[in-house]
Chains A and B, each alone.
Chain A
Amino acid sequence: MSDDANSAIMMDRRQVLLFGSAALISGAMMPSTASAAAGTLVMTINPEPNAMVSAFNTASPVAVISGKMTEGLVHYDFGLNPQPELATSWEIAPDGLSMTFKLRDGVKWHDGKPFSSADVAYSIMEILKQHHPRGRGVFAKVTAVETPDPLTAIIRLSEPTPAMIYALAGWESPMLPKHVYEGSEVLKNPANNAPIGTGPFKFVEWQRGSHIILEKNPDYWDKGKPLLDKLIVRIYPEPSARVAAFEAGELNLGGDGPIPLNEVKKFQDNPAFKVETRGTEMNNSLDVLETNLRNEHLAKPEVRKALMHAINRDLMVKTVWYGLAQPLTGPIPQTLPHFYSADVPSYPYDVAKAEALLDAAGYKKDAKGTRFKLRLIYPTTGDTYDRAGQFLRQQFRRIGVELDLQTADVPTFIRRVYGEYDFDLSMVPASATADPSIGLQRFYHSAAAKQGTPFVNASGYKNPEMDDVLSKAAVEPNASKRVDLFKRFQQIAMEDLPILPLVRPIYVTIASAKVQHFVTGPEGVRSHYSTLSLG
């Protein structure tokens, strides 16, 4: 088609002139992103956020947009250590039953009202503890937030909650203005779609399906920041269109894997772009296979171990993830260095061993070389899981296990796996977050299993020692004792294998070469972006 179009133009010189001048005019009209708007950066978030404040909707795109306008008590460095944000210092009592936050002086909400400890108390008690999907768990043990003076907030706990310190960023647990929310129907408050925060960017406009515009907060407490005048979020539903928009120079930045995996190499080789692989360490979305232990085959530990031995995960990384993933050795990824342990049972790729285990379990190959059949269900989110499913089918066929691949849109997937337990194997993106008590306990603790609740223990796994270790780790105020507990957790998890950990996919952030400071910490594109700049 392009040939037709070109030759048609070639044929007529007058037409060439016409098109040429049209191009000139349009070129003149087009505000080139390079010059005219140096203080304006265009980024994309995919899919389009459904809300502007992450206190009520914790979907990943919402966290990205919310984190620019709202702030939390702290943010984090690459070592996952909390850093001052709205709180300048904090102290955790030795018994772990209270946390005292000293707040920053002179901070103003976007509407000009001063920020104080009353806002912190209101945000935690009335908003996060009640309406935040994750916060309901994280802040469950909070009994009260005391405010002895406007710049001090003391969180009182009925039990120690050491994981809480990893959940206080602005994109996860945003502080919201009491004076705007108090006395209103919180879930329908207009500020949910036009946030009033303390962050470096103020909300201007959200045209659904098209774009979101944020502008510089001139009264931001960190003087001289943000560096940008305007941050524009454009919505491109189609990944190929995002690639084109980057290449045409209309788009400067996108995180969480904005382009198809097979295009990343091209961008890495192109000096016009920067590709950053860090910036998802707070999120740690892991691709795993959850086994349904109600299935007679999968109930046998030998079968689960055999499956684990049958997966060539290095090859899988290369072919399915185009090299953009790290094989997992256990439930905790290496991006959480203070919790990670390599001292766990391991399952190197070994077809013979896998076959021996299946033989021992009493499953003989039939005439066709098949031992038994399993269904693998996964959600339709991009084509990576399709490739992973095909890959696993080939690998498992080698040891005589036939895979029936089933794909479903997200609500269907959730209903079948977590509502009806109607699956054998399920491939899910399981977010380990920055703390195993928040991210991983729900998959391994037997008490977490509640039929109808998504992304919890759906395998039907129950091991009293595991329950005990996780319950203790969740409330252990002593850091090193907690690490020991998690070490034991990793060993049991890899011994019992209710979940077969596959890989930690690397979700890249892509930026034009002139964009600076787009990944400044483990929060990646969720960061508040006060230091983000163009050129």
Chain B
Amino acid sequence: MSAPRRNLPLRFIGRRLLQALLTILGIAIINFFLLQLAPGDAADALAGEAGTADAEYLANLRREFGLDRPLWEQLAAFLMRIATFNLGYSFRYGENVSTLILGRLPASLLLMVASILIALMVGVIFGVTAARYFNRLPDRLISLLALLFYATPPFWIGLMMIVVFSVWLGWAPTGGMRDITAQDRGFAGVLDVLRHLALPALTQAFFYLAIYTRLVRAGMLEVMSLDYIRVARAKGVSEQRIVYRHALRNAVLPLITVVGTNIGGFLGGAVLTETVFSWPGIGRLMFDAMMQRDLNLLLSILVLSSVFVVLANLVVDLIYPFINPTVELR
């Protein structure tokens, strides 16, 4: 634990970023070819919605979308767009892809931060409590609850929350991100968004909460049996301090890894919650883009997701040494 190691490991980050670029490029190319396997294209989807179309109209659309060009040209064009950060135009939506994505990103990030924070806080408390009362009533209750949350689809939990808290009790709105009829600005606007955020964030949090609880509980149980805890106890350190200062630090390392992957996977992973709560997030946009074969938009979101995953992993790796200084970055 010498001082230099505490400095920001720039070489490590540089190497990882280079790897990240290659990884993202690989993901982009693989995604491009995978999506080619889906039958039908954007013109088919558009005509399917319209209910009619003539052959020339479809040919015009394909020319407009660039679907009539050879595959390698389409791939090259796609990679060029990504390299220049100009994601192009979605004819499907009649809007720039970057505008579409940026319009949805805040909602997704807000939902992600809220639900992961809730899940983390409650998960740690639950996990620690369960471990402390191992095999006693609190442990049993918490474990049962975690199992239930894990096994219940977020979709169903969301619908039940809407029925109970919106329809029966009238406490929360059934969906959306803010009250459009009110057009609140400032503080009232923030409160309004929080009111809309509560149910979807809880719904999404329940799923993570179950995982985090079990991880922390298992980690705590393992660590609590180690010698250094016994030494601490023998020295007369208070149980509270042993649990939160000595044990938890070591027990949460696997948790950090999982949170990292959750953050990475969040963009697409929240699609069910976003659907149930009419939450205008990226997951829903991605789903629609898939159904409508708007491959340019879809690929852009997928690339963005992979950037998220890669960055989240890098951040997690950088966090390790702070939590447990015996971890070395190589």
Contacts and interface: CB of A to CB of B under 8 A. Distances in A.
Interface of A: 1-2, 5, 19, 22-23, 26-27, 29-31, 33, 36-37, 40, 42, 47-48, 50-51, 57-60, 133-134, 136-137, 187-188, 192-193, 207-211, 213, 230, 232, 234-238, 240-241, 244-245, 247-248, 250, 379, 408-416, 419, 429, 431, 442, 450, 452-456
A384 to B, nearest CB: 17
A51 B46 CA distance: 11
B180 interface: yes
A30 B170 CA distance: 10
A189 to B, nearest CB: 9
Contacts of A47: 288
B58 A410 contact: no
Interface stretch (B5-13, B77-85, B154-162): B154-162
22 contacts: A1-B160, A23-B171, A29-B188, A30-B173, A31-B181, A50-B49, A51-B94, A208-B285, A209-B280, A210-B177, A210-B278, A210-B280, A232-B180, A235-B278, A237-B275, A244-B163, A245-B175, A248-B166, A410-B48, A412-B40, A453-B55, A456-B52
Contact of B191 (A29, A188, A455, A456): A29
B226 interface: no
A256 to B, nearest CB: 13
A240 B157 CA distance: 13
Interface residues of B, number: 71
A382 B288 CA distance: 15
Contacts of B191: 29
A210 B94 CA distance: 17
Interface in B268-283: 274-278, 280-281
A523 to B, nearest CB: 16
Given A60-B51, A133-B50, 4 more contacts: A193-B94, A236-B175, A244-B162, A453-B47
A247 B165 CA distance: 12
Contact of A244 (B52, B166, B274): B166
B169 interface: yes
B45 interface: yes
B38 interface: yes
Given A27-B170, A453-B55, A33 B181 contact: yes
Interface string B281-297: 10011001001110000
A435 to B, nearest CB: 13
A428 B12 CA distance: 58
A207 B179 contact: no
A22 to B, nearest CB: 7
B302 to A, nearest CB: 18
B54 interface: yes
B160 A2 contact: yes
A36 B93 CA distance: 34
A194 to B, nearest CB: 10
Interface of B: 38-42, 44-58, 64, 89, 91-95, 100, 103-104, 107, 148, 152, 157, 159-160, 162-164, 166-167, 169-177, 179-182, 188, 191-192, 195, 274-278, 280-281, 284-285, 288, 291-293
A188 B278 contact: no
A136 B54 CA distance: 8
Contacts of A19: 171
A270 B191 CA distance: 33
Contact of B57 (A133, A412, A415): A133
B180 A213 contact: yes
Nearest to A245: B174
Contacts of B195: 26, 29
Nearest to B278: A236
Contact of A30 (B49, B179, B284, B285): B179
> Which of B42, B45, B49: most chain A Cβ within 10 A?
B49
B52 A134 contact: yes
Contact of A419 (B44, B54, B176, B180): B44
A50 B93 contact: yes
B175 A208 contact: no
Contacts of A22: 171
Given A209-B284, A411-B44, A193 B175 contact: no
B109 to A, nearest CB: 14
B94 A188 contact: yes
B41 A411 contact: yes
B181 A454 contact: no
Contact of A31 (B44, B64, B179, B274): B179
A131 B159 CA distance: 41
Contacts of B44: 410-411, 414-415, 419, 454
